[in-house]
Amino acid sequence: MSDLKVDLTAPNGRKITLPIGIYINNEFVKGNGGEIESINPTDESVIAKVSAASADDVDAAVKAARQAFNDPSWRDLPGPDRGAIMFKWADLLEANRETLATLETWDNGKPYSVSYNEDLAEVISCLRYYAGWADKIHGQTIPTTPGMKFAYTLKQPIGVCGQIIPWNYPLAMAAWKLGPALACGNTVVLKPAEQTPLSILFAAQFISEAGFPPGVINIINGYGKEAGHALVSHLDVDKIAFTGSTATGKAIMKTASVNMKNITLETGGKSPLIVFEDCDLDQAAKWSQIGIMSNQGQICTATSRVLVQESILDKFVEKFQEAIKTTSKVGDPFADDTFQGPQVTRAQYERVLSYIEAGKSEGGKLLTGGEPHKNVGEGKGFFIEPTVFTDVTEEMKVYQEEIFGPFCVVVSFKTEEDAIRMANNTTYGLGSAIFTQNLERAHRVAEKIEAGMVWINSSQDSDIRVPFGGVKQSGIGRELGEAGLAAYSQTKAVHVNLGLKL
């Protein structure tokens, strides 16, 4: 072990040499903000301690990013060459996929099968998708006055982008932000969540090898109150992209106004899943289980309010319980048959338990779960039983507030109009789902739901080619797909006088 690397043996036996510094100008350096302990949520042991960035370290990273943005080696690099570097980085990550998935599971608690088969697949695909866009970002010509004037637009990068990512999908959220930013020619200072710093540090080892010039990508582990605030308030940062809680998003929006930064915010959600009486009931129950219980319920778009037409309520509840019982196996995240691992931290574990108590005290009926899961971890770890409440009213905390755990409420409705009103009775507007075999109803309700995304007869099966984002207090802007490029480019209009004389 050196000062900036540590040798680790993961629970699955994989040997890993992990960088533990912050990454600036294509080098790992020691941060001046102390250390961050990475805690294994399965048994509460310390995995490693990594350097935390101070405000001065953030300033150094921003200066490196600014210098790289102004350097012709990056700024004037042709799109095909920029894309080739991104493709190379994706290839290097794919070659180290098992190690990255191991770190993701060890640090976060999600099942290894999910980390490897889903999250890392998405990371690699996302980087390749945006690498393919790098030579296709261009402006347009605009007909004005024939023979008198010619006009065209240029698509140009925004500049230095500060990116702050959450702990629920550490590498995937990094790829969602890095992919379009780099494709457009920006430079980046990325702050991972302090709860899950390990996988992105391992991935950073391959940035220079892929061919990125120094300063194009900088990674500053650190605490939100110091490193995060320093990044958002820095006068030489042109854009902030953030995924996380609504409360933090509001604070970022205020702070970013110091120099009118361009912002993209993807914040909380309390997504409805509407089950109509004409649906395929078996499929509705199975997708409902996926919609809330996958990733330990730690998904911004989790369909945590299940609204069921009253004529089929009892049948749905029976099938939903069966889907949870047969699918939501809680256990060691490195076990092949585990569906649900631990919550990411003790704070999140206690938050979910507090909402269970709130649901009981407000008069909800506990249908299933509602306790710490005691069959794994020998009394340690942040495991919670999949939890469902019924007999919930729209005023209750568990109906209105984002919980971010394996916890949902099932509420009945009478008519289509009731379902739409109940679905929209929230300050959030991120995701939603509709289950019906009536094609007209599906599209009619989808249009009326106040959400950035609507799934029809499925839930949570996002795609990197399709825009992702919300309305109301669920955020500003879109990520993924071609729409994601708009968040990292700006349009310049050029007017050419072809002969108009004064």
Active site residues: 266
Alpha carbon distance 401, 428 (integer Å): 9
Q: Which two tokens stand for residue 450?
A: 């106040």
Cβ(428)–Cβ(474) below 8 Å: yes
Cβ(188)–Cβ(175) below 8 Å: no
Nearest to 304 by CA among 350, 353, 268, 270: 270
354 Cβ contact list (under 8 Å, min separation 6): none
347 Cβ contact list (under 8 Å, min separation 6): none
Residue 360 amino acid letter: K
Q: What are phi and psi of 492, to 5 degrees?
A: -110, 130
- In order, the DSSP letters of 465-500 are TS-B--SGGGEES-BSTTHHHHTTEEEEEEEEESS-
Q: Which two tokens stand for residue 482?
A: 């071609």
- In order, the DSSP letters of 206-274 are THHHHTPPTTSEEE----IIIIIHHHHH-TT--EEEEES-HHHHHHHHHHHGGGT-EEEEE-----EEE
441 Cβ contact list (under 8 Å, min separation 6): 276, 278, 416
- In order, the DSSP letters of 419-470 are HHHHHH-SS--S--EEE-S-HHHHHHHHHHS-SS--EES-SS---TTS-B--
Cβ(489)–Cβ(478) below 8 Å: no
